[in-house]
């Protein structure tokens, strides 16, 4: 009976944009559903049994058996509306004695893609599009904080990269291959000398160079294999570097040019070593006797592919100083996060680049982190969830701020000043402690560790930014669903996007805390017992059964549709 009621609910949700304006029909359909929900016997005894509604439910059930999800139908309702009308029109006419004109669907559908793209194209000049993938954020953050460490086995600096779905390391290497084409082929040896010293150039300015390259490439490239022209001047302009002037002429300082050229070279030296799904390969034939010889696959990819590289060298010492200009494109590792249907884009405030990379490095790091988080939180309606101050993933750690020993008040002031600066610059719209500060605890012994670091801070984005991100999220949801549906078969247990369990928990807790729904109400909506829902939300289910998984995903799917209406 649960499945029947779920189909009833889904059918009403799907039909609302088409038939809700037809008062007589809609009232009868809803009344029939409500009666059956209260008394299962009413399924066959209700005076409001509706042949047209039963036909719609049957049609939807058949589609789901074919592996076509409710969300896919809803996202393409302009197309499925014709099929629904062909099935229902005659039955509705016979049931109600008149022909109903179906309304035009008002939900998000494919024809709206153009409008969404137009709004994204018209995004304010205060923001740049960048990758929002966790791997990209982790790489950029590791570069900014120079978290590369010498690896004994490789004898080269490496940066571990770990996400839920990928693992690997970024490694600095002077290796020259076909993905690095110098203008003068005899410069290979000097290139090696240049790159050997780049470890000292891993900092926030290098992270700015990384963002600048990806921003320029996203803006100009029309395919993942396209090169763009790039030089140090692109970085100086986007970072709004201050200029010197002489005799009325403004110019960039030589030291700034050199710093940027060195950091472009630093990025050119990064290779990504990916663990290929931890796949173990047996090298010796299974028919051979003796112990199997097993290895793990590792894929090596250059971060950027460079062509026509022009190097600078010191006129007096002849030492190479950096890259003046080149043709550049992301390597296959990075392009996967920047281009195509699998990519996820965030909007980065201009201030992340314009703040001074030395004096305001903490400002820059916090902006990068927030832009990454806002894109994720907007998708799952958790923007008001507080950010922790202390801890491994707290705001201080994100910025790389180590609490001043013996002067905790200074650390608190530093954090508050940064947030105030970002609010003045409209990078954030508002910030506040999640709960009122208890000033009586401030100043007590170990107050920073035992009290302050455990507090949370709510940081809200500007409304203008959220409007643009919202458009991107809606478009991405439709694009992802369309791509997934191409691979569905009837027996497939449909999953929500990557990290589905965490996503669903976020949605449940948001509705519980911010929409004042009780856990029992949510459990009833999903079709689970309150005890089962509690175990799921508290991560106490060792294994989620197929039935529970289907109900959770079905509920989440309905929430996505409701929110888009």
Q: Can you give the three-state secondary structure of 490-528, one letter per residue? A: CCCCCCCCCCHHHHHHHHHHHHHHHCCCCHHHHHHHHCC
pLDDT at res. 165:
65
The model's pTM: 0.62
User: Do 119 and 374 contact (CB within 8 A), yes or no?
Assistant: no
Task: Please compute the mean of the pLDDT values over residues 290-297 and round it to a whole number.
Answer: 56
pLDDT at 343 over 70: yes
From CA 515, how far away is CA 434, in angstroms rounded?
Answer: 18
**SS3 call for 254:** helix
Residue of 419 and 171 predicted with greater confidence:
419
Q: How far apart are CA 141 and CA 163, in angstroms?
A: 14
pLDDT exceeds cutoff 90 at 63: no
Measured distance CA(104)–CA(407) in Å, rounded = 64
Of the pLDDT bands very low, low, confident and very high (cuts 50, 70, 90), residue 350 is: very high
What's the pLDDT at 43?
Answer: 82
Q: Delimit the CATH 1.10.260.40 region(s) of the chain.
A: 488-565
Confidence band of 14 (pLDDT split at 50, 70, 90): confident
| Burial category of 374 from C-beta neighbours within 10 Å (exposed 0-12, middle 13-18, buried 19 and up) | buried
**Between 390 and 555, residue with greater pLDDT:** 390
Question: What's the pLDDT score for residue 469?
Answer: 66
- Burial level of 501, CB count in 10 A (0-12/13-18/19+)? middle
d(CA 409, CA 368): 25
Residue 534: pLDDT band (50, 70, 90) is confident
C-alpha radius of gyration, the chain, whole number: 29
No. of helices (H) and no. of strands (E), the chain: 23, 16
Task: Give the chain's mean pLDDT.
Answer: 79
Tell whether the model's pLDDT for residue 8 goes beyond 70: yes
Structure tokens at 10: 């889904």
> Residue 209: enclosing H or E segment and its boundaries?
helix 204-220
Task: Select from 277, 268, 330 the least CA-distant residue to 299.
Answer: 277
Q: How far is CA 539 from the centre of its chain?
A: 23
Question: 134-138, 158-162, 207-211, 338-342: lowest mean pLDDT where?
Answer: 338-342
Upper half-sphere CA count for residue 542 (Cβ side, 13 Å): 0
Q: What is the pLDDT of residues 159-184, one digit of tens each?
A: 888 876 677 788 887 655 555 555 55
Given the structure tokens 């559903």, which residue do they identify? 33
Report the relative pairing of strands 304-313 and 180-182 from DSSP bridges.
Answer: parallel
What value does the mean pLDDT take over residues 259-275? 86
- The greatest distance separating any two alpha carbons of the chain, rounded to the nearest whole angstrom, comes to 97
- Name the least confident of 70-84, 291-305, 460-474: 291-305
* Alpha-carbon gap, residue 10 to 557, rounded angstroms: 10
DSSP code of residue 101: P
Query: 163 vs 527, which has greater pLDDT?
Result: 527
Residue 157 confidence (pLDDT): 83
Residue 119 structure tokens: 């709004």
Q: Quick check: 533 and 509 in contact, CB under 8 A?
A: no
pLDDT of residue 348: 93
Residues 210 and 351 sit within 8 Å (Cβ to Cβ): no
Q: How far apart are CA 540 and CA 543, in angstroms?
A: 9
The topology (CATH level 3) of 488-565 is: 434 Repressor (Amino-terminal Domain) (1.10.260)
Sorting pLDDT into bands at 50, 70 and 90, what band is 190?
Answer: low
Does 316 score more than 80 pLDDT?
yes
Q: Does the structure show a pLDDT above 60 at 495?
A: no
Question: Under DSSP, is residue 482 helix (H, G, I), strand (E, B) or coil?
Answer: helix
The pLDDT assigned to 169 comes to: 82
pLDDT digits (tens, 9 = 90+) for 119-158: 334 445 789 989 888 889 999 999 999 998 887 766 678 8
Task: Give residue 479's pLDDT band: very low, low, confident or very high (50, 70, 90).
Answer: low
């Amino acid at each position: 009976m649960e499945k029947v009621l779920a189909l009833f609910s889904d059918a009403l949700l799907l039909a609302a944009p088409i038939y809700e304006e037809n008062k007589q029909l809609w009232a009868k359909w809803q009344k029939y559903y409500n009666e059956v929900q209260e008394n299962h016997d009413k399924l066959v005894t209700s005076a409001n049994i509706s042949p047209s509604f039963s036909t719609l439910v049957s049609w939807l059930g058949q589609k789901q058996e074919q592996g076509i999800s409710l969300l896919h139908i809803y996202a393409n309702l302009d197309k499925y509306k014709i099929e629904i009308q062909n099935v229902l029109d005659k039955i509705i006419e016979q049931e109600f004695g008149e022909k109903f004109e179906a309304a035009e669907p008002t939900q998000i559908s494919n024809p709206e893609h153009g409008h969404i793209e137009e709004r994204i194209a018209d995004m304010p000049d205060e923001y740049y599009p960048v990758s929002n993938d966790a791997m990209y954020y982790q790489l950029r953050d590791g570069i900014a904080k120079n978290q590369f460490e010498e690896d004994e086995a490789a004898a080269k600096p490496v940066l571990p990269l770990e996400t839920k779905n990928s693992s690997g390391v970024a490694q600095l290497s002077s290796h020259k291959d076909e993905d690095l084409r110098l203008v003068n082929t005899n410069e290979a040896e000097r290139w090696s000398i240049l790159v050997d010293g780049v470890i000292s150039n891993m900092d926030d300015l290098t992270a700015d160079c990384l963002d600048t390259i990806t921003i320029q490439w996203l803006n100009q490239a029309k395919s993942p294999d396209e090169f763009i022209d790039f030089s140090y001047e692109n970085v100086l302009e986007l970072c709004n570097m201050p200029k010197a002037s002489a005799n009325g002429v403004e110019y960039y300082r030589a030291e700034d040019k050199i710093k940027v050229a060195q950091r472009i070279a630093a990025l050119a030296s990064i290779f990504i070593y990916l663990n290929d799904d931890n796949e173990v390969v047996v090298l010796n034939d299974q028919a051979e006797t003796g112990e199997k010889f097993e290895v793990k696959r590792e894929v090596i990819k250059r971060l950027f592919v460079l062509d026509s590289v022009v190097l600078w060298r010191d006129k007096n010492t002849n030492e190479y100083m950096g890259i003046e200009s080149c043709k550049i494109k992301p390597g296959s590792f990075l392009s996967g996060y920047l281009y195509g249907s699998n990519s996820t884009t965030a909007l980065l405030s201009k201030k992340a680049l314009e703040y001074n990379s030395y004096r305001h490095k903490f400002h820059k790091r916090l902006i990068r982190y927030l832009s990454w988080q806002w894109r994720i939180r907007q998708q799952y309606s958790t923007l008001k969830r507080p950010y922790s101050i202390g801890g491994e993933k707290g705001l201080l750690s994100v910025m790389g701020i180590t609490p001043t020993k013996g002067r905790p008040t200074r650390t608190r002031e530093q954090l508050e000043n940064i947030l105030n600066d970002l609010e003045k610059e409209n990078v954030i719209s508002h910030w506040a402690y999640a709960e009122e500060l208890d000033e009586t605890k401030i100043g007590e012994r170990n107050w920073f560790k035992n009290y302050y670091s455990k507090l949370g801070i709510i940081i809200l984005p500007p409304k203008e930014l959220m409007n643009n991100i919202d458009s991107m999220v809606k478009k991405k949801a439709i694009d992802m669903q369309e791509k997934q549906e191409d691979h569905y078969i009837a027996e497939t247990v449909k999953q929500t996007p990557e990290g589905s369990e965490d996503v669903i928990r976020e949605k449940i807790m948001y509705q519980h805390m911010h929409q004042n729904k009780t856990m029992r109400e949510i459990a009833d909506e999903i079709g689970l017992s309150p005890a089962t829902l509690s175990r799921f939300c508290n991560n106490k289910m060792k294994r989620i059964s197929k039935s529970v998984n289907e109900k959770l995903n079905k509920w989440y799917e309905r929430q996505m549709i409701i929110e888009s209406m």
